[in-house]
Amino acid sequence: MDYISPTQHAISGMNHSDTLSLSLELLQQPSVTPVDHTCQTIMADRLAKAGFHIEPMRFGDVDNLWARRGTEGPVFCFAGHTDVVPTGRLDAWNSDPFAPEIRDGKLYGRGSADMKTALAAMVVASERFVAKHPDHKGSIAFLITSDEEGPAVNGTVKVIETLEERNEKITWCLVGEPSSTSKLGDIVKNGRRGSLNGVLHVHGKQGHVAYPHLARNPIHEASAALAELCQTVWDNGNEYFPATSFQISNIHSGTGATNVIPGTLEVIFNFRYSTEVTAEQLKQRVHEILDKHGLQYEIDWNLSGLPFLTPVGELVNAAQTAILNVTGTETELSTSGGTSDGRFIAPTGAQVLELGVLNATIHQINEHVDVHDLDPLTDIYEQILENLLA
């Protein structure tokens, strides 16, 4: 049977669709990380009317929401974040970033792409699904945080720890991150690379540039080692992941004077790594290279995310089928891009996918999304629920 979209609302004037109306309401909230600014309350009020049990979870200065309809498994969870990145210079925007405007079919506002429109689509899709299937299988849940764009220490990770402590398991999780590239649904993220950060401190001996034999220049001493790190092939990736990459993001040394050899060098770097290596293996190889060059150093390591992968199965099939039915698009699976909160959910055993609007303008001045993508995204989310829980 051909799929018929349930949303045929006009996207103009006062005749807004449910998803667009909720998107506008959420976009008016200046929820710069870690402030939620009532976004979760707006969502929770609507979910409560649809029969969800609402459980706010606040950790530190971060508001989180766990909402669930049903007590049995399997559990399908919508996950996302209400916080947005800072706006940048307000005078660089063509309109107030927290007074959303529709111009030429585009919805402008901070968070329009990343990811308040997806949150609206999740809520509306759930409302419609529940109205059609009040006795649906399993449970539907929402895991929403206001700490995704910030340090991510009091958000999703803490909610997951709480759920794990009470043995409350998520079966399938759809994260509403903006995954699409050229058109809605063309890319779905079924995994993410790991992220390993390091701050390298190389020790030399400060001195006068005219007497280099009385000093040790840590920049000179480290240069060959840094070049080797940049040129090293860490792995060749695999069918799901590109090869692991090493990038230096910052180098700092010196007193600011032209006649002083610095005594220390600080190098900040990052690995985005595949499942072909582990964080411990990367650390070991870095130390081997630095030791080979005889450096005096220490490294502060920070693992900000393990790699995860959801292979083709129930969730992937449900999403690909829904996207094809709604948009006619054959979806490509990808693990590219940065980290997301999926990295905290996948280790519990959940299947995790990221599916949302186009990501072309996320974090940019004049962030926007195509208004005509909002209802189809809602339809896709609703049909995924149909495919898994009807």
Point out the catalytic residue in the list 83, 147, 375, 379. 83
DSSP string, 296-313: -EEEEEEEEE--EE--SS
Calculate the alpha carbon distances from 198 to 138, 249, 259, 339 in Å: 43, 10, 30, 16
Quick check: helix, strand or coil at residue 367? coil
Place of tokens 């997806």: 118
Q: Any catalytic annotation for residue 148?
A: yes
Strand arrangement of the beta sheet that strand 297-305 belongs to: 245-253, 264-273, 194-203, 297-305
- 371, 107 in Cβ contact below 8 A? yes
Cβ(118)–Cβ(80) below 8 Å = yes
Residue identified by tokens 């609507």 is 46
Secondary element (H or E) of residue 106: strand 106-108
Give the angle subtended at the CA of 190 by the CAs of 368 and 44, to the nearest 5°.
Answer: 55
Pair 55, 48: CB distance under 8 Å: no
Q: What is the CA radius of gyration of the chain?
A: 24
Catalytic status, residue 83: yes
Looking at 63, 147, 148, 373, which residue is catalytic? 148
Q: Which residues of 82-106 are buried (b: 16+ CB within 10 A; e: fewer)?
A: bbbbebeeeeebeeebbebbbeeeb
Could you give the CA distance from residue 91 to residue 1 in angstroms, rounded to a whole number?
A: 51
Three-class SS of 326-359: HHCCCCEEECCCCCCCHHHHHHHCCEEEECCCEC
φ, ψ of residue 353 to 5 degrees: the values are -130, 150
CB 206 within 8 A of CB 239: no
Task: Give the catalytic positions in this structure.
Answer: 83, 148
